[in-house]
Chains A and B, each alone.
Chain A
């Protein structure tokens, strides 16, 4: 009944298009904020160089923004094309934040971005600054609504199942909006985007300084990136911790997998710094553990246990048994909606309906499942432990590295000593790809770690797909890979070319008379 080729291909296509889209989104978030800061300094001081900085980084922003918009179009429609059952099952709740994102945020961002580029002569300085601010506000608001939608997939609050329509329906919009996971995710993700923008500006400015080009512009850009980046890098890590704390209430399994916590330890649990999780034996080899740390982070206490994978699987098994009851009652209600016994039974078990649906991977009717199949379904709730374990550690290490990088940059900036520290400039340049890696790893931890669920505890991923032929999905996947790769080549080429020409090579501004080092330059 379920075509697992379609499931695999659809998942692969979603992952690739989402990861690709997420190469451009964080830079849009970060650069729009940095443009706003630079232009604000221009409007306040009236110094021409700050306007040049805004316009130069704006050029790179423009190249990136187009790619973000282009790849975002795919995302808005892919739920319908590839995840039709998902769309039907949760559209009543999930569609609303997506629609409001368009109405409240993307309209704002997209309408004013044209004026950012074409409004320099048509608007007063202050009006143009306001336009830039609205672009930045629009992009961050856009992230807010998308993350409200995403957080609902991680922690589906404010909704119930309606057996008359065979789908989830909204119970409380306020709960969906105020979902604590949404708040933590928003701050974490947006701050991560700001870090991406800051590292981008820092690295390219460092390259100019290493080449002895555009020194006045590069040093000021570095100062902005260093201070903004330091604040944001600290937020990402602190509020990433918040995200872990919340996940322990809603997605204990994800935390257990990230920590490769195979068995519940007596509290407070230790944090496994390093090791090799082994899925077969359900142990972690060569584990290097910091006592107490995980218990403190995840439960904010020394006496609450962090539940291990085996205990969570046992709980899943119990919920599957209850889910079978819910599914049986639902079938009875479908044939006779007035049946009071079936209704009472459904209401008693409906919270576990999603667990019953997990069995559809193995049997046509969950009620016919053998104990082995129930056990397999229970174990299918464990995400890919080694991948999560490593991705999470790499992401955190990068996050800590960015704090150090920005701290040094900030120190050098206050001392006006960039030029003397070529080693730092090289390090800053070499760091250019790292924030993207961290951002993509974060996506993997959050979304691959959500598996096997599309909606945590509600709808298994394999069930959400469309009934399209696998050949069609293979064709679109191949098409996206070819088309997106071509666009990536063009985008990188244009970025590198624009950066290589630099503010001094555009033939637009008069080349400053060999701007000498020093702080007195306007």
Chain B
């Protein structure tokens, strides 16, 4: 029988796996949404770019939906505190994400230039805004969210919306936007023909350079510019979840504590930088498949870099550090974690298998000629 501590660590890893699954799959269609208006010139080119993601984005997005459900089931306090504290930001993310299903479905149904332009911009917003805001959210985790619990154990937020847009959070948002743009550009370079592919490669190279600079800058800011947190005592990995029981200390640069105590972990951010640089270089050499793999590694390594820095915190509190959420005090019961783990072990391999099959069926490049392929009426 796996004990409560191990279950909590496993679910922390699974949360990371879900985020990585989201970034690697849905990330590329957010990225394509961000760049297709600029990389594609004219209706046919844009349509080809959109068609590279149209059959798959819907399944990709389930990583996000599942992320919501999994956080609800495994980390109910995190689900409750994060979404209610970031209320208006979450509302904006939802509106932006809602634009995608309708944008993809509605755009091609009417052959009118203004109609399509409208939905093109809706798809741009649906791609770029979430890509930016997910990074802003991560940035706020590093800064700590201004919240505490009241007597009934209700999370109470004491900041406001603009408080979420501090410079470091915006920088984190740009890291995320550059990362997902790189990923979308690599995917487009792989899936569509020239001239879109070469323009996508150029956009991807620019995004890779931007990512490396921004990522390193954010790292330096974490080391020298913002306060991190450490658990000083009171947290029991085997005890029932009670986020009021621990003592937390705050110190400049403390988010690098895990890296300082386990030097091998530095490999993770190093891989993020090197993989992004390699993706940029490979795009320059027109080796799109290898570039896409490197870009996917960048997504994973970046998310892990942030996760390792924050570990074991899930959502630190800036106003009441002792009440911040960690993996030891925000989880479901051991029973629920165990049952959900079984569900993941049974169903995730099935999901991965049929997703791979669908991508295999859809393999091949989309050219301006293949757009005429017969997919039924539209």
B332 and A166 contacting across the interface, CB-CB below 8 Å: no
Scoring B59, B76, B241 by chain A CB atoms within 10 A of each residue's CB, the highest score goes to B76
Complex CA distance for A395 and B130, rounded to whole angstroms:
41
Q: Are A467 and B155 in contact (CB under 8 A)?
A: yes
CB-CB under 8 A for A96 and B339, given A85-B152, A117-B375? yes
CB under 8 Å from chain B, chain A span 470-510: 472-473, 475-476, 479, 483, 487, 490-491, 494, 497-498, 506, 508-509
Counting chain A CB atoms within 10 Å of each CB, which of B80, B336, B339, B344 scores highest? B80
Q: Does A468 contact B (CB under 8 A)?
A: yes
The 16 sampled A-B contact pairs (Cβ below 8 Å) are A66-B102, A70-B102, A73-B101, A81-B91, A92-B333, A96-B340, A103-B343, A110-B58, A111-B351, A112-B354, A115-B362, A119-B361, A120-B374, A173-B339, A475-B88, A479-B91
Contacts of A466 in B (CB 8 A): 80, 84, 87, 154-155
Min distance, Cβ B72 to any Cβ of chain A, angstroms = 3
Contact A99 B62 (CB under 8 A): no
Interface assignment of B265: CB less than 8 Å from any CB of chain A: no
Q: Please determine whether A96 and B109 come into contact, CB atoms closer than 8 angstroms.
A: no
B153 x A88 contact (CB < 8 A): yes
Is B56 positioned at the interface, with any CB of A under 8 Å from its CB? yes
| B residues whose Cβ falls under 8 Å from a Cβ of A | 54-59, 61-62, 65-66, 68-74, 76-77, 79-84, 87-88, 90-91, 94-95, 97-98, 100-102, 104-106, 109-110, 150, 152-157, 239-242, 332-333, 335-336, 339-340, 343-344, 347-348, 351, 354-355, 358, 361-362, 373-378
Among A55-63, A205-213, A243-251, the one that faces the other chain is: A55-63
B106 and A94 contact, CB distance less than 8 A: no
Instruction: Tell whether, in the assembled complex, residue A98 and residue B73 are in contact, meaning their CB atoms are under 8 Å apart.
Output: yes
Which residues of A pack against B, CB within 8 Å? Answer: 1, 55-56, 58-59, 62-63, 65-67, 69-74, 76-77, 79-82, 84-85, 87-88, 91-96, 98-104, 106-108, 110-115, 117-123, 162, 164-167, 169-171, 173, 463, 466-468, 472-473, 475-476, 479, 483, 487, 490-491, 494, 497-498, 506, 508-509
Q: Is the CB of A472 within 8 A of B240?
A: no
Q: How far is the CA of A119 from the CA of B157 in the complex (A)?
A: 48
CB of A88 within 8 A of CB of B373, answer no
B81 contacts which of A58, A65, A84 (Cβ < 8 Å)? A84
Name the contact of B61 in the complex, choosing from A103, A110, A119 (C-beta under 8 A).
A110
User: Which of B83, B84, B347 is in CB contact (< 8 Å) with A104?
Assistant: B347
Q: Are B80 and A88 in contact, with the CB atoms below 8 A? A: yes
A96 is contacted by which of B59, B81, B83, B336 (Cβ under 8 Å)? Answer: B336
List of B residues within 8 angstroms of A81 by Cβ? 83-84, 87, 90-91
Set of chain B residues within 8 Å of A120, measured between Cβ atoms: 374-376
Contact B65 A76 (CB under 8 A): yes
Q: Give the chain B neighbours of A472 by CB distance below 8 A.
A: 87-88
Determine whether the beta carbon of A59 is less than 8 Å from that of B76.
Answer: no
What is the bound-complex CA distance between A244 and B301, given in angstroms? 54
Chain A residues with Cβ below 8 Å from B240 are 162, 164-165
Contacts of A487 in B (CB 8 A): 98, 102
Known contacts A102-B65, A468-B87; is A118 also within 8 Å of B241 by CB? no
- Smallest CB-CB separation from A52: which chain B residue? B377
Among the interface residues A77, A115, A475, which one has the most CB atoms of the partner chain B within 10 A?
A77
Q: Return A22 CB to nearest CB of chain B, in Å.
A: 16
Residues of A contacting B155 in the complex (Cβ-Cβ under 8 angstroms): 84, 88, 466-467
Residue of A107, A115, A123, A498 most packed against chain B (CB within 10 A):
A107
Nearest Cβ distance between residue B317 and chain A, in whole angstroms?
Answer: 14
With A88-B77, A92-B333: A103-B105 Cβ-Cβ less than 8 Å:
no
Q: Which residues of B contact A490 (CB under 8 A)?
A: 102, 106
Q: Which residues of A contact B153 (CB under 8 A)?
A: 85, 88, 166-167
Distance from B153 Cβ to chain A, minimum over Cβ atoms (Å): 5
Q: Which residues of A contact B343 (CB under 8 A)?
A: 96, 99-100, 103-104
B250–chain A nearest beta-carbon distance, Å: 24
The answer on a CB contact under 8 Å between B97 and A102 is no
Contacts of A166 in B (CB 8 A): 152-153
A59 to B376, CA, bound (A): 9
Contacts A73-B97, A114-B59 known; A121 to B69 CB distance under 8 Å?
no
What is the distance, in angstroms, from B171's C-beta to the closest C-beta of chain A?
25
Contact B79 A91 (CB under 8 A): yes
Chain A residues in 8 Å Cβ range of B157:
467-468
Chain A contacts for B106, CB-based, 8 A: 63, 66, 490, 494
Distance of A438 from chain B, by nearest CB (Å):
26
Q: Are A170 and B102 in contact (CB under 8 A)?
A: no
Q: Determine which of A115, A468, A483 lies in contact with B361 in the assembled complex, contact meaning CB atoms within 8 Å.
A: A115
- Which one, A70, A118, A171, contacts B54 given CB within 8 A? A118
* A58, B376: Cα distance in complex, Å: 10
- Would A509 and B377 be within 8 Å (CB), given that A114-B358, A467-B154, A472-B87 are in contact? yes
Q: In the docked arrangement, what's the CA distance between A194 and B321, Å?
A: 52
Q: Which has the most chain B C-beta neighbours within 10 Å: A102, A115, A118?
A: A102
When C-beta atoms are compared, the residue in chain A nearest to B150 turns out to be A467
A77 and B90 in contact (CB under 8 A), knowing A66-B106, A99-B72? yes
Q: Do the beta carbons of A498 and B84 come within 8 Å of each other?
A: no
A88 and B109 form a contact (CB under 8 A): no
Are A102 and B69 neighbours in the complex by a CB distance under 8 Å?
A: yes
Given A102-B66, A479-B91, A84-B83 contact (CB < 8 Å):
yes
The chain B residue with its CB closest to the CB of A166 is B153
Partner pick for A115 among B55, B110, B336, CB 8 A cutoff: B55
Q: How far is B244's CA from A335's CA once the two chains are assembled, in angstroms?
A: 13
Instruction: Tell me how far the C-beta of B374 lies from the nearest C-beta in chain A, rounded to whole angstroms.
Output: 6
Contacts of A119 in B (CB 8 A): 55, 361
Name the distance in Å between B273's Cβ and chain A's nearest Cβ: 32
Question: Is there contact, CB below 8 Å, between B79 and A79?
Answer: yes
Partner of B73 from the list A74, A99, A113, A117 (CB cut-off 8 Å) is A99
Are A66's CB and B105's CB within 8 A?
A: yes
Q: How far is the CB of B349 from chain A (nearest CB, A)?
A: 11
Contact assessment for A94 and B361 in the assembled complex, using a CB-CB cutoff below 8 Å? no
Chain A, Cβ-Cβ closest to B343: A100
Inter-chain CA distance A63–B377, complex, in Å, is 13
Given A103-B351, A475-B88, A476-B87, 4 other A-B residues pairs in contact with their CB atoms under 8 A? A92-B332, A98-B73, A165-B240, A508-B376
Among B57, B72, B91, B332, find the residue whose CB has the most chain A CB atoms closer than 10 A. B72
Q: How far is the CA of A479 from the CA of B154 in the complex (A)?
A: 26
